[in-house]
Amino acid sequence: MSTPEFIIDVRGVTKQFGGRVVVNDIAMQVRPGEIYGFLGPNGSGKTTFLRMLCGLLTPDGGSGHCLGYDILKQSAEIKKHAGYMTQRFSFYEDLTIEENLDFIARIYEVKDRQAAVEQSLERLTMTARRRQLAGTLSGGWKQRLALAACLIHQPQLLLLDEPTAGVDPKARRDFWEEIHQLAADGLTVLITTHYMDEAERCTKLAYIAYGNLLAQGTVDEVVASARLTTWEVVGKNLHAVADQLRGKPGVEQVVVFGTTLHVSGRDAVRLRESIAPWMREEYRWHPIASGLEDVFISLMETAADNFK
C-alpha cells in the first residue's frame, strides 16, 4: 500500500446518542508520522470519535478515509492495520500476560507469532512475569500491557485513548520516548490525554468540547489562535485578590499557584482596566505567555457559553 498523503482524512463526522449530538461535524487530517494529540474535557466526545475511526461505532454523518480505506465501508481493512487502545482496560483479566498477547497476535495473524510475543514481553520487561494473570497487574502495568498488545501486529496507525492515565512519571516518560521512536519509524499516532505536558509533546493538537472541534494545529498555533492575554502576579494574600478579581469585566480566568496568581482574558484592554486597581506596591505584575492549560480552559468556558 502506498502511503497516502493523509493517514486520517475525515470530515463532517457526527454521532448522536438518543437524539443528543455527541460528536458534531468534526473534520480531521493527520499526516503520516504525526503524533496527533486529541484533547477535551470529560464527556466531550473523544472516545466516541476514536471508536468511529476504527469502525466500533457507525457515524450518523460524515465521510472520509483512514489509512486510505473508507471509514464507512472498509472498517474491516482499517481494523487490520490500526491498533486501538481502549480507555478502559479491555484485555482478559482471567488470562495471563502471555496468553493475552498470544491471543491478540493470533487474531491479527501475526507472522512468526512466538517471536512477536517474546519481543513484546521483553519490551515490557515482563518476561519473568509472563504467567501472571492480567487481572492481578497494577493499573499502570495494565496500561503498558495494553499498549504492547496493540503494537503486536505492527499497525500503521495507533489510536490511543488516554494510554497514560494512572501511569507513573518515569513510565510515562518511557512511554513517550517509545511513541516518538515509533513515529520516527513512520507510525502515525492519534492520542487522547488530559495531561498538558503530554499535549506539548505532540506534533499537532486538536481540542474538542461538547462534540465541537474548537482549535487545531501545533501547540504554538493553538495558543496563538486563542488570543489570550495572561498576567502573573507575585505578592501576599493572593487569595483575597483572586476573589475580588473574579467576575470583573475581561477577567476570564484567575488561577492561584501557591505564591503566584495567573489572570487571563481574551480582551486585553478590558483585562488591563480591571486589574489596574491592584497594580500597587505590594503586588508585582508582569505579562507572560499564556500556557496551553489556560488556553484550553478558556476554550472550554467559551464553548460552554456557546453550546450549552
Partner 1 sequence: MSFARFNFKRFGAVVMKEFIQMRRDRLTFGMMVGVPMIQLILFGYAINSNPKHLPTAVYAADNSVFSRTFVQGLRNSSYFDIIREPRTTAEINRLLAENTVQFAVTIPVDFSRKLVRGERPDLLLEADATDPTAVGYAIAAVNGLVPTIFNRDLTGPLAPLQAGSPPFNLVVHQHYNPENITQYNIVPGLMGVMLTMTMIMITALAITRERERGTMENLLSTPVRPGEVLLGKIVPYIGVGYVQVTLILLAAKFLFDVPMIGSVPLLLVLVLLFIVANLAVGITFSTVAKNQLQAMQMTFFFFLPSLLLSGYMFPFRGMPGWAQDIGEVLPLTHFLRVVRGILLKGNGLPELMPDLWPMALFLAVMLTVGIKRYRQTLD
Q: In terms of DSSP bridges, do strands 260-265 and 229-234 run parallel, antiparallel, or are they unpaired? A: antiparallel
Count of chain residues binding partner 1 (CB under 8 A): 21
How far apart (Å, rounded) are the C-alpha atoms in residues 44 and 25?
13
- The side-by-side arrangement of strands in the sheet containing 61-66 is 20-30, 8-17, 61-66, 69-70
Residue 21 interacting partner from partner 1, ligand ATP, Mg ion, none (CB closer than 5 to 8 Å by kind): none
Residue 42 within binding range of ligand ATP, rule CB under 6 A: yes
Residue 24 within binding range of ligand ATP, rule CB under 6 A: no
Closest by Cα among 215, 160, 226, 303 to 27: 215
Contact at 8 Å (CB) between 53 and 15?
no
The correct pick among 74, 87, 203, 260 for binding Mg ion (CB under 5 A) is 87
The nearest distance, CB 192 to Mg ion, in angstroms, is: 6
Residue 40 interacting partner from Mg ion, partner 1, ligand ATP, none (CB closer than 5 to 8 Å by kind): ligand ATP
Residue 44 interacting partner from Mg ion, ligand ATP, partner 1, none (CB closer than 5 to 8 Å by kind): ligand ATP
Which three cell numbers mark 90?
A: 479491555
**Class of residue 164 by CB neighbours under 10 A (exposed 0-12, middle 13-18, buried 19+):** buried
Distance of CA 264 to the CA centre of its chain: 24
The correct pick among 47, 120, 230, 253 for binding Mg ion (CB under 5 A) is 47
Residue 51 within binding range of partner 1, rule CB under 8 A: yes
The correct pick among 16, 87, 96, 302 for binding ligand ATP (CB under 6 A) is 87
Can you tell me whether residue 10 is helix, strand or coil?
A: strand
Residue 255 interacting partner from Mg ion, ligand ATP, partner 1, none (CB closer than 5 to 8 Å by kind): none
In the range 76-135, which residues lie near partner 1 by CB under 8 A? 76, 79-80, 82, 84, 86, 88-93, 104, 107-108
Output the CA torsion sign for 269, 271, 272, 274: positive
Residue 43 within binding range of ligand ATP, rule CB under 6 A: yes
Can you tell me whether residue 302 is helix, strand or coil?
A: helix
Residue 55 within binding range of partner 1, rule CB under 8 A: yes
Residue 72 within binding range of partner 1, rule CB under 8 A: no
The nearest distance, CB 52 to Mg ion, in angstroms, is: 13
How far apart (Å, rounded) are the C-alpha atoms in residues 140 and 20?
34
Residue 89 within binding range of Mg ion, rule CB under 5 A: no
How far apart (Å, rounded) are the C-alpha atoms in residues 120 and 125?
8
| Closer CB to ligand ATP, 165 or 256, in the complex | 165
Interacting residue ranges for ligand ATP, rule: CB under 6 A: 17, 22, 40, 42-48, 87
Q: What is the contact surface with Mg ion in residues (CB under 5 A)? A: 46-47, 87
